Amino acid sequence: MTEIVIVGGGIAGLLTARNLGAAGCQVVLVERGAIGSESSWAGGGIVSPLYPWNYSPAVTALAHWSQDFYPQLGAKLLEDTGVDPEVYVTGLYWLDQEQAAPLAWAAREQRPMQAVSVESVYRAVPALAGGFSQALFMSGVANVRNPRLIKALRAALAQMPNVTVHEQCAVSGFIREGERICGVHTSAGEMRADRVVVAAGAWSGELLRSLSIELPVEPVKGQMILYKCAEDFLSSIVLANGRYAIPRRDGHVLIGSTLEHVGFDKTPTEEALASLKASAVGLLPALVDAEVVGHWAGLRPGSPEGIPFIGPVPGHDGLWLNCGHFRNGLVLAPASCQLLTDLLLGREPIIDPTPYAPEGRLG
């Protein structure tokens, strides 16, 4: 039985553990804090890149596979664990967005985006602020309630006798035998394995420096706020001027997000709170009287062009990566974890793995 250690308990680590555990591997997942408590918890959970036409074909391929897979993932997790990740299909409106490039992209990729009249948007989203002059809409776009997704995945792993999860267990380095990586040093002692998968999000680069590997993944801070509204207040995701509002089924509305290069500082700031409130009211004026029930920050794993690193690390036999998803970790995770599983187990990959290979992309 193949033994695998996964470093990182976010969405990438959890889904990788689920896939490999289901394939019969002996899996140990190690998380330095609490499971899913970093960017996987903090993100908005839109199952689409914010501006999908701006991304490379590599990101698009992962996004489309995941978007098509999410409904069945949510249904399966609910069936297996009783925890509903709430994959909520609402569609997405882009307001006052230049339309030629998005529509050309949608035609090329065969995605259901169309230009719609502003009047139809106001009928569908009566709470929307006035003054918008044009709109795009893509049906089928969902959002997932990411804290519940984390909870469901945690419960799914607890049902797998060949998967062990260690929380509050920091990894300090790797066990090397010659050119081979055969485990990790942790605060709970050595953990040996046939393969080590680094899925540590924004911390992945720091970890690999202990091997003198320069992985271009760095923390990028994002702040969000949460309002509680009536359940019928907002029916669709709306996006304008780089900020978005996401409806949950129970009436919670998320507003996000900032993009800050401040290292590993996750402190929420009053400046960001004021900016997010202004964006919220600019989109949905009734929120001026609504209470902010949450304000938090997370650290995205920033990477060049947002293309994740998925696959084996050359010159370090046994070391694998699944990290660097930047703003699209929740969007891309199902596909990236399936691709990593396919490659690690020698199966036919779901998509061409070449763009994500660490080889040639590391320093």
Q: What is the predicted pLDDT for the residue at 205? A: 96
- Arithmetic mean of pLDDT, 225-246: 96
Per cent of the chain over pLDDT 90 is 99
Q: What is the predicted pLDDT for the residue at 295? A: 98
Q: Using one digit for the tens of pLDDT, what is the confidence trace for 244-277?
A: 999 999 999 999 999 999 999 999 999 999 999 9
Could you give the angle at the alpha carbon of 152 between the alpha carbons of 150 and 158, nearest 5°? Answer: 105
Average pLDDT, the chain: 97
Q: What is the predicted pLDDT for the residue at 215? A: 97
pLDDT band at 103 (very low <50, low <70, confident <90, very high): very high
Q: What is the predicted pLDDT for the residue at 2? A: 83
Q: What is the predicted pLDDT for the residue at 208? A: 97
Q: How far is CA 67 from CA 149, 185, 248, in A?
A: 15, 36, 18
Report whether pLDDT(363) > 90.
Answer: no
**What CATH class does 92-139+218-302 carry?**
alpha beta
Q: What is the predicted pLDDT for the residue at 4? A: 98
Q: What is the predicted pLDDT for the residue at 335? A: 98
Q: Using one digit for the tens of pLDDT, what is the confidence trace for 272-293?
A: 999 999 999 999 999 999 999 9
Q: Which of 137, 207, 125 is nearest to 172 (CA)?
A: 207
Whether omega before 257 lies within 30 degrees of 0, making that bond cis, reads yes
- Arithmetic mean of pLDDT, 197-211: 97
Report whether pLDDT(1) > 80.
Answer: no
Q: Using one digit for the tens of pLDDT, what is the confidence trace for 215-229?
A: 999 999 999 999 999
CATH 3.20.20.70 assigned to 3-67+147-217+304-356:
no
Q: Using one digit for the tens of pLDDT, what is the confidence trace for 114-148?
A: 999 999 999 999 999 999 999 999 999 999 999 99
Domain range summary for the chain, segments of one domain joined by +: 3-67+147-217+304-356, 92-139+218-302
pLDDT band at 207 (very low <50, low <70, confident <90, very high): very high
Predicted TM-score (pTM) of this structure: 0.96
- Arithmetic mean of pLDDT, 302-314: 97
